[in-house]
Structure 1
């Protein structure tokens, strides 16, 4: 399958009503860039392309024309089996990511393998230090997804808490990270919240998300409410 055939396939999968709905959730994405392909169908196509012709997808020029082409690339990257190739493709692609949806669906399967934990931790910290908002958001997301359980390190709280990027979707990801940390590593995260180290907006948003979470106990939620600023 070549690039023009991939684009034609995407339009064959188009759902106009879904396009209108998904566009409403992504105000930063021009509606003309959205074809309207449902995510499960796009994932299935990506899985087939990753097996048959990954280099065709990964060789498409950046920036890509359509939102679904971005996501298709991300899903193909997620299927790659070589760590160095995954990181190289991410480093090529991430600077062109311009919305939260594409950023948050980037979840390489290889990153679940604990044998790569040390390398992933280093790369995640490199990404979160980037000034480009969605590169930074992706790095925070990797620490949240892969290092709030067995691989948790208290220094990660300070790394994420010290991210100085005013972009809304970065601040939201910082809040999401701390809300998840309050669910998974409460003893450590609560000390950071108690110390008022986060900016007021991020501090309060972290508490809000934690209070809304089913993973945080009622007792902890009650205490968190007293820490609002």
Structure 2
């Protein structure tokens, strides 16, 4: 592909045609079942390895064009949205740059898969700044901005950067959306595995600290982990609300 801006109709159309050429109809049907919030007509069916390979090539061959493409975050198809999310992590060299791109993109995300595929290596350059931005995301209105904040807290802050106060940041989210609360349960299940001394008291508390659905789903997902011993799994089962 020549180094022209994908933000122009012609070159944006080229990217769309490249995605269409990578589409797998069988995978499209499978993917449609996984993302029920997306109109199946918007799904082309590009597999993730192929999507990432295209993203690498675009960044290598037309970096200026990719940046222009990222300036127009609304796209017609699910796969174009996924490509946009993948490109954010590959283009942003500093957290602040990523924050700007994400603040424009996350309010437009309409499904868990696009949200969860975003990975930003630059975040590790300034974890305190990322934590402050996570506080903003989890308190914001867009559903998938909240979910993104929880997923990033799970990805970046459950090992050496963990602080017990992070648990309360997720516990304090009071939203009805299924995909937010599934992310909260996912976070707590990993916290039970990685930081049990800090996390278990939250689940031992009566009355329970979380809503019952998130409490029980987190325990269920933790019991599915191979890193939990059988006796520990039995104890977690006993904590079910």
Which TM-score tier does this pair reach, normalised by the shorter chain?
over 0.9
Map of 1:98 onto structure 2: 110
Find out whether 1:13 has 2:22 as its counterpart. Answer: yes
**Deviation of residue 50 (structure 1)?**
2.2
Q: TM-score, normalised by structure 2?
A: 0.91
In structure 2, C-alpha distance between the alignment counterparts of 1:202 and 1:25, rounded to whole Å: 21
Contact 1:3 / 1:56 at 8 angstroms: preserved in 2? no
2:54 equivalent among 19, 22, 45: 45
- 2: distance between equivalents of 1:227 and 1:83? 39
Instruction: Tell me if structure 1 keeps the 8 A contact 2:106–2:142.
Output: no
How far residue 182 of structure 1 moved from its aligned partner, in angstroms, is: 0.2
Question: Residues of 2 paired with 1:11 and 1:56: CA distance?
Answer: 21
**Within the alignment, does 1:162 sit opposite 2:162 as a pair?**
no
Are 2:224 and 1:215 equivalent residues in the alignment? Answer: no
Structure 2 stretches lacking a partner, 5+ long: 2-10
**TM-score, normalising length: structure 1:** 0.95
Root-mean-square deviation over aligned CA pairs: 1.1
Over residues 38-93 of structure 1, what are the superposed CA-to-partner deviations in whole Å (9 max), with x where a residue is unaligned? Answer: 11000111112123232242133x43100011010111101121321111000000
Residue 185 of structure 1 is matched in structure 2 by: 195
1:135 corresponds in structure 2 to 145
Give 3-state SS (helix, strand or coil) of 2:49's partner.
helix
| Aligned: 1:198 with 2:210 | yes
* 1:63 and 2:74 aligned: yes
1: CA distance between counterparts of 2:189 and 2:131? Answer: 20
The answer for unaligned runs of 5 or more in structure 1 is none
Residue of structure 2 in register with 1:84 after alignment: 96
- Corresponding residue pairs, total: 226
